[in-house]
Amino acid sequence: MNVYDVIKKPLISEKIEGLRAQNCYVFEIDLNANKTLVKQAIRKIFGVTPVKVNTLVLRSEPKTNKYKIGYGPRRKKAYVFLGKNDKITLFEGV
């Protein structure tokens, strides 16, 4: 798997902004990616070294239509913790 295919997009919310004080960044990643692939991707794309990576698989959400009930796609998130002096410039000013 290519390192640029591992990370899909950064996630931004009020709860995630609170984690920024702990130098934690949250990304949506590929379902087949593991922690070591996420570490390698962060190191190569952003040029910082992650201290710890936690992953979380979100189950599919029920979606209702007028006639039937369906389910949305499954997603996977990665919580990336960096060292004290490291920052990702993508999140600056957000």
Q: Per-residue pLDDT tens for 73-94?
A: 999 999 999 998 888 887 666 6
Residue type, 94: V
Report if residue 89 sits inside a domain: no
User: Considering its fold, how many domains does the chain have in total?
Assistant: 1
CATH number at residue 79: 3.30.70.330
- Tokens 């591992």 -> residue: 6
Report if residue 17 sits inside a domain: yes
Report if residue 45 sits inside a domain: yes
Which tokens belong to 56?
Answer: 């979380």
pLDDT of residue 93: 65
| Coil/strand/helix, residue 81 | strand
What residue numbers bound the domain in which 70 lies?
A: 3-83
Distance in angstroms (rounded) separating the CA atoms of residues 13 and 7: 18
Phi and psi angles of residue 50, each rounded to the nearest 5 degrees, phi first: -70, 140
With CA atoms as reference, report the closest residue to 80 among 36, 25, 18, 8: 25
Share of the chain above pLDDT 90, in %: 63
Report if residue 93 sits inside a domain: no
Distance in angstroms (rounded) separating the CA atoms of residues 32 and 74: 12
pLDDT, average across residues 4-13: 93
Share of the chain above pLDDT 70, in %: 96
Report if residue 37 sits inside a domain: yes
Report if residue 25 sits inside a domain: yes
Distance in angstroms (rounded) separating the CA atoms of residues 37 and 40: 5
pLDDT digits (tens, 9 = 90+) for 57-71: 999 888 888 888 889
Report if residue 63 sits inside a domain: yes
